[in-house]
Amino acid sequence: MPVILRVYGGGVAASLPWELGQAPLFAGVPTSLGALVEHCAPAALGDGLLLLLVFGIGLVVFRDWAWGAWAGMSALLFAAGVAAGCGVLVEVVAVRWLGRWQYDPAMPLIPVLRVGVVPVLQLPLLSPVVIAWATRRI
**Three-class SS of the chain:** CCHHHHHHHHHHHHHHHHHHHHHHHECCCCCCHHHHHHHHHHHHHHHHHHHHHHHHHHHHHHCCCCHHHHCHHHHHHHHHHHHHHHHHHHHHHHHHHCCCCCECCCCCEECCCCEEHHHHHHHHHHHHHHHHHHHCCC
Euclidean distance between CA atoms 126 and 138, whole angstroms: 20
Share of the chain above pLDDT 90, in %: 86
**Residue 129: closest CA among 2, 9, 10:** 10
- pLDDT tier for residue 74 given thresholds of 50, 70 and 90: confident
pLDDT computed for residue 125 by the predictor: 97
> Tens digit of pLDDT for each residue in 14-69?
999 999 999 999 999 998 999 999 999 999 999 999 999 999 999 999 999 888 88
Which amino acid would we find at residue 131? I
Query: Given a cut of 90, is residue 75 above it in pLDDT?
Result: no
